[in-house]
Amino acid sequence: MVQTYKESSLEQKRSLLCLIYPLGLHWEENGYLNTQISPEYKQIMALNGPTISFGSPKGNRTPVSRMKT
């Protein structure tokens, strides 16, 4: 899929990203926020075996001990 994305036109990339992230990608200073992956794309990725984690296994990216309160 990576090679297909690299070789796609801008419109094709936009369509693919809209299929994967139906609610869109919201950017804030340090990265993307509120990214919900479509159920269909999750099923496709499940066929590929183990996935790469982009965050903590607990679901948060910033340890609570490091957060300023």
pLDDT band at 57 (very low <50, low <70, confident <90, very high): low
Q: How far is 25 from 31, CA to CA, in rounded Å?
A: 10
Nearest to 15 by CA among 38, 48, 49, 44: 38
Residue 43 lies in a domain: yes
Residue 16 lies in a domain: yes
In angstroms, the Cα distances linking 42 to 10, 36, 63 are 23, 10, 26
- Enter the pTM of the model: 0.49
pLDDT for position 11: 93
Structure tokens at 2: 């990576």
Overall number of domains in the chain: 1
Which residue, chain included where needed, has tokens 């139906």?
22
Residue 32 lies in a domain: yes
Residue 69 lies in a domain: no
Model confidence pLDDT, tens digit, residues 38-51:
888 888 777 776 65
Structure tokens at 68: 């300023």
Enclosing domain of residue 20:
2-49
